[in-house]
Amino acid sequence: MTTTAGSGLGRLHPVIVHHLVNTLGWTSLRPLQDQAVAPILDGSDALLLAPTAGGKTEAAVFPVLTAMEQQRWDGLSVLYVCPLKALLNNLLPRLESYAAWLGRRVALWHGDTTSATRKAILTGPPDLLLTTPESLESMLVSPTVDHRRLFAGLRVVVVDEVHAFGGDDRGWHLLAVLERLTRIAGHPIQRIGLSATVGNPGQLLQWLQGSAAQARPGAVVAPEAAGEGAGVATGRSGEKAVAPVLDAEVQVDYVGSAENAAKVIAALYRGEKRLVFCDSKRLVEQLGALLREHGVTTHLVHASLSLDERRRAEQAFAEGRDCVIVSTSALELGLDVGDLDRVIQVNAPPAVAAFLQRIGRSGRRPGTRRSCLFLALRENDLLVTAGLLLAWSRGFVEPVAAPTEPRHIVAQQLLALCLQEGQVGENTWQEWLTLPPLAVSAQPIAAHLIAQGYLNRDNGMLFIGPEAEQRYGRRHFMSLMAVFTAPPEFTVLHGRDEIGRTDPVLLSDRVEGPRLLLLAGRNWRVTWTDWKRRRCFVEPADGGGRARWLSDGVGGLSYELARSMRDVLLGASVPVELTQRASGALAGLRSDGIGRVWSGGPVISRSDSDLRWWTWAGYRVNATLKATLGGLADETQRVDDLSIRLRGDLRPSSWREMARELTQQLCLPEVDDKALAGLKFSEALPRPLAVATLATRLADLDHARSVLVEPCRWLSGGES
């Protein structure tokens, strides 16, 4: 390995360079790894972009370890944060080996870490700690952790899969915790994000920098996304990254049912290792059971399986050869499952970004290409798949946008801060919540928490009140650590072995004969249900099991994907291989689509008494439009992705003027109590603020306004 004075390699610690050559057998650094060295060693915040298996971890860790040695950092100086415990478990051996080259130590702290291991970490802190945002929060509020001593020497935080945080409330929670850690450390903490390709890297970097975004230098490092020689850009320059149209084999087939999908997967690629993605746990279970009926060695992974069950599946798959693993998005992130031959996607993933993550799991061996086979179960699934692949072929990838109005996170952070400090000053707690999106609504939320007894006030100090104790105090305030709500599920046990968890509806609805469950791809007969402890006991059964989970699957389509679907129906060519079945079904969809699509804008069609506005605008836009239309729409209808049912007496002559007027009075979607219950900590907010938070997140005002001003074609009975 040759070093040059100006190269990234030349700035790495000599011991690291030695081991790159002699331990890893590398002859050079990848472009991302080479270009990341300078900004990281110069102290800039950074966002490192590369496809799955692009060497992002090494691109961050090697210069960070170099800085650790050069600047003689002592004690816990680096946090490595991931969204998944399984990903942390997977990374631990690799990072331990890298740190050991320099005599440094790595440790792991998450929900499954034993109390003995945690005590050892506190007694002798490692140099680098792998953890999750929830575990960081628990360290800050725990009375057994001296957080000021533990985090006094913190210098760097590496956030892996930062795009998974950036579009979710967990991201706001993470940023708030990092702001508190910065105040505890008493000095700036360098932030390094690792991500797959995103549509707005500069904005994502500024989001990650938090309240220091305008004060600290930042660099986006994305050699593959930006093009040859244009890999480093400042975080405040124009956005450069688009979805790379990969050198990949992409094929689409229309199979019509899960049973047929299992037949295709069983027949194709025998002798190869196949990773199959589904976007619901129910479909994972159904497909897994069907594949086993076809004699295929099959393993399953999803969040409602027990930890031991998932680990056994991942281990068996990593060591196997002729086998299939069926997974939800749980295996979409950078978890190593061995040397894959094929990626198969049943129906479409929820976003182009997810497709890039998934196809990136394949083609890692030299001389192989990335590949993905799509199997559409229904005609609409085929259309969604075609729309997604059309958007990808045009270079589109979704921007990562943090959820708006994180008021419930403000409530959570105020309560967590009081636990962390014991008590905080009534006029000084604002110094901890310096993140602008949190600070803007903090005062009225604090007043509400005091008025409702979540916080007590005495002699100018705030501390945890009886209402917070009652709602969140069980198990040392564990429910306060996470900002997402876990659905109510029953633990399923075979003897003493936990198999996983299931929806309680499957244990309470009326059935004829034995009560049968499908879990871990196997059928079980329920023998006894312990309602008080939320457990059920089972024994193996021959067949007939059912799988179900609350809120299983993905949400509505985005505006961009819905419009790409319309373009497909209008004849846009999808530049991937379509099987004869897929081509025939797509031709039928285009024929049926006459009367629903028009190249000039939306279509309003009348059929009998039904007047339907085909917006092709996605769920959030249609929810906004339905609320804005009020009595002009059928208020009893459920919002869908593609159309809105209008009042039957509307006429073209009056529609254009009404639509133009509505652009000036857009309304937020309505929020029901069930949706409000799904927003964790909503009960700690004034109800109007909780409703406004959810309504704002359900809305897409900009696209709704643009749809209202688009020209419409009115059709009656399929005729103009």
Residues in CB range of 208: below 8 A, 6 or more apart: 45, 47, 159, 162, 166, 175, 191, 193
Cα(573)–Cα(590) distance, rounded to whole angstroms?
12
Chosen domain end from 523, 540, 557 = 540
Total number of domains constituting the chain: 5
Chosen domain end from 393, 425, 460 = 393
Cα(277)–Cα(262) distance, rounded to whole angstroms?
13
Question: Do 201 and 338 share a domain, yes or no?
Answer: no
Cα(720)–Cα(716) distance, rounded to whole angstroms?
6
Reduce the DSSP state of residue 114 to 3 states and report it. coil
Question: Do 222 and 85 share a domain, yes or no?
Answer: yes
The residue segments making up the domain with residue 522 are 490-540
Would the pTM of this model clear 0.85, i.e. be above it?
yes
> Is residue 634 domain-resident?
yes
Burial of 317 (0-12, 13-18, 19+ CB in 10 A): buried
Helices (H) and strands (E) in the chain, counts: 29, 27
Question: Do 225 and 257 share a domain, yes or no?
Answer: no
Reduce the DSSP state of residue 274 to 3 states and report it. strand
For 107, 170, 536, the CA distances from 81, given in Å and listed in that order, are 12, 12, 35
CB atoms near residue 550 (< 10 Å): 11
CB 574, CB 565: distance < 8 Å: no
Question: Do 128 and 229 share a domain, yes or no?
Answer: yes
Question: Do 261 and 112 share a domain, yes or no?
Answer: no
* Polymer length in residues for the chain: 720
Element (H, E) at 166: helix 162-166
> Is residue 69 domain-resident?
yes
Cα(155)–Cα(191) distance, rounded to whole angstroms?
9
Cα(232)–Cα(35) distance, rounded to whole angstroms?
7
**Looking at residue 552, what is its pLDDT?**
64
DSSP structural state of residue 279: S
Question: Do 605 and 674 share a domain, yes or no?
Answer: yes
CB 233, CB 220: distance < 8 Å: yes
Question: Do 528 and 468 share a domain, yes or no?
Answer: no
Burial 575-610 (b: 16+ CB within 10 A, else e): ebebbebbeebbeebeeebebbbbeeebbbbbeeee
User: What CATH code is carried by the domain that includes residue 335?
Assistant: 3.40.50.300
Question: Do 623 and 668 share a domain, yes or no?
Answer: yes
> Is residue 556 domain-resident?
no
Element (H, E) at 366: none
Tell me which residues of the chain have a pLDDT lower than 70: 1-6, 224-246, 334-338, 365-367, 551-555, 717-720
Closest CA to 35 of 244, 241, 224, 188: 224
For 120, 394, 410, 518, the CA distances from 63, given in Å and listed in that order, are 27, 35, 35, 48
**Looking at residue 237, what is its pLDDT?**
42
> Is residue 62 domain-resident?
yes
Burial of 351 (0-12, 13-18, 19+ CB in 10 A): buried
DSSP structural state of residue 210: G
Residues in CB range of 630: below 8 A, 6 or more apart: 667
Chosen domain end from 177, 209, 234 = 234
Cα(8)–Cα(11) distance, rounded to whole angstroms?
5
CB 141, CB 175: distance < 8 Å: no
Q: Residue type at 5?
A: A
Question: Do 223 and 316 share a domain, yes or no?
Answer: no
Residues in CB range of 124: below 8 A, 6 or more apart: none
Question: Do 223 and 257 share a domain, yes or no?
Answer: no
The 10s digit of each residue's pLDDT in 695-712 is 999 999 999 999 999 999
Question: Do 222 and 255 share a domain, yes or no?
Answer: no
Cα(246)–Cα(244) distance, rounded to whole angstroms?
5
Beta strand pairing status for 248-254 and 577-578?
parallel
